[in-house]
Amino acid sequence: MAQAFDAAAQQVLLTQRAEEALALAKKLGADAAEVGASVDQGLGISVRLGEVETVELSRDQGIAITLYVGQRKGSASSTDASSASIKATVEKALAIARYTGEDPAAGLADASLMATDLPDLKVHYPWALTTDEAIDLALACEQAGRDVAGIHQSEGASLSSGEGVRVYANSHGFLGTQKGSSHSLSCMLIAQDEKGMQRDYDYTSARNPAMLRDPAEVGREAASRTLRRLGAQRPPTGTFPVLFDPSLSSGLVGHLMGALAGGALYRESSFLCDRLGSPLFPSWFGLEERPMEVGATASSPFDAEGVQTRNNRFIDQGSVASYMLSAYSARRLGMQSTGNAGGARNLRLLAPLTPRDDLLKQMGRGIWVTELMGQGVNGVTGDYSRGAAGFWVENGEIQHPIEEFTIASNLNSMFAGLVAVGDDIDTRGSIHTGSWLIDAMTVAGN
């Protein structure tokens, strides 16, 4: 980092501010209150064609206060955590609460659900990186890619490094704090042939900078991914099996979790309404959340409402085993919080894994998709239609790159038609998954 960040001192300060806000809320007449406070500091570098383009030093802080007067709710926030600002923010939240309508589902999560197991999950790894050192790493990454024969141009390389502290407290007496860090390095390159230009990228990210891949490796992989796209053609129109690259199959998991989210369910805007206990995937497939995994991307012992997080099995033996609920959405549905205010944390597949070459052989003739475009996913109906690029496969072997086509189906059919999952697990995000082979999708190409 270019400037020292004292996480321990920030933790103490934010804790004091949260306690101050809760005490003031009680004094001014709130029946219940909750406070979230955070501070983040980061360094961002971008380079292009061997020159520095941007150097950004950022520091962001904020405090959000939610008060309840009976079943009336008021929320206000500020980027100023001074005592005067906290007083003004509490007063605004209280004024809002007194003028809003009553909501029977409003209120803090039940006190009995508050987290009591608060281990250090090892998610804070500061990086003592100077600005010059960060620039050198980004330049080395880009240069390694540009040195690969066939690379025509560069969109540049970027490095980011940040750390922060968050505090959540409420009038049940719960107070939880967590320090965290995030570091990444990426590179995007351009190649050209008689058919035009192609671009692709690669990146590495981790909480611990020691776990980042070598910058030169990232640059060379970006070059390899770019060059393999040259000579792309349009595939034939028809119905074919489709293999989703791990970087894309994680998006399918994301669509699933969006449909399992309590907010979508109580609004009846999910294609998985009333599907609890019903089959959705093949019986060999499962999906589990592991929020207490040490050192993982999204680990936390408590959710955004202070509820104890736990391993949740969302899909068990192919069937919907649990929804993803906050306290509010759980009350709207007549259920109990699953500790998922703020989303799911560290999703892991429970499935037999198949080498990617075997997946291609199993596919026979079809499409390996490596890029998706557009937002053609309807969470209400499950209809799925996206622009895509990738590779045409014949007899289980890659033939040539393809582009300018769409793939379409329905998520219900895609999930039920999941043939196998690859062992090429992408661990860079909070969703760890390999390639997904879907039995059939409609392809619109030539």
CATH number at residue 63: 3.30.2290.10
Does residue 384 contact residue 369 with C-beta atoms inside 8 Å? no
Asked whether residue 397 is assigned to any structural domain, the reply reads yes
Residue 75: what pLDDT?
98
Residues 412 and 387 in one domain: yes
Could you tell me the two tokens for 305?
């409402």
Residues 368 and 423 in one domain: yes
Residues 344 and 370 in one domain: no
Residue 2: what pLDDT?
45
Does residue 228 contact residue 202 with C-beta atoms inside 8 Å? no
Indicate the average pLDDT of the chain: 97
Residues 98 and 217 in one domain: yes
Residue 3: what pLDDT?
57
Instruction: Domain of residue 310: give its range.
Output: 274-349
Asked whether residue 182 is assigned to any structural domain, the reply reads yes
Question: Mean pLDDT throughout 254-261?
Answer: 98
Residues 355 and 345 in one domain: no
Over residues 70-129, the pLDDT tens digits come to 999 999 999 999 999 999 999 999 999 999 999 999 999 999 999 999 999 999 999 999
Residue 84: what pLDDT?
96
Does residue 295 contact residue 208 with C-beta atoms inside 8 Å? yes
| Total number of domains in the chain | 3
Question: Mean pLDDT throughout 341-364?
Answer: 97
Over residues 131-175, the pLDDT tens digits come to 999 999 999 999 999 999 999 999 999 999 999 999 999 999 999
Question: Mean pLDDT throughout 384-391?
Answer: 98
Over residues 296-349, the pLDDT tens digits come to 999 999 999 999 999 999 999 999 999 999 999 999 999 999 999 999 999 999
Residues 190 and 286 in one domain: no
Asked whether residue 122 is assigned to any structural domain, the reply reads yes
Residues 188 and 96 in one domain: yes
Asked whether residue 266 is assigned to any structural domain, the reply reads no
Identify the H or E element spanning 184: strand 175-193
Sign of the alpha-carbon torsion through 410, 263, 375, 47: negative
d(CA 342, CA 321): 20
Residues 395 and 337 in one domain: no
Neighbours of 253 (CB within 10 A): 20
Three-state DSSP at 430 gives: coil
d(CA 114, CA 75): 21
Question: Mean pLDDT throughout 353-375?
Answer: 97
Over residues 195-248, the pLDDT tens digits come to 889 999 999 999 999 999 999 999 999 999 999 999 999 999 999 999 999 999
Residues 372 and 344 in one domain: no
Among residues 326, 349, 372, the one where a domain terminates is 349
Residues 44 and 175 in one domain: yes
Could you tell me the two tokens for 58?
């950022």
- How is residue 296 annotated by DSSP? -
Residues 59 and 154 in one domain: yes
Residues 17 and 135 in one domain: yes
Asked whether residue 259 is assigned to any structural domain, the reply reads no
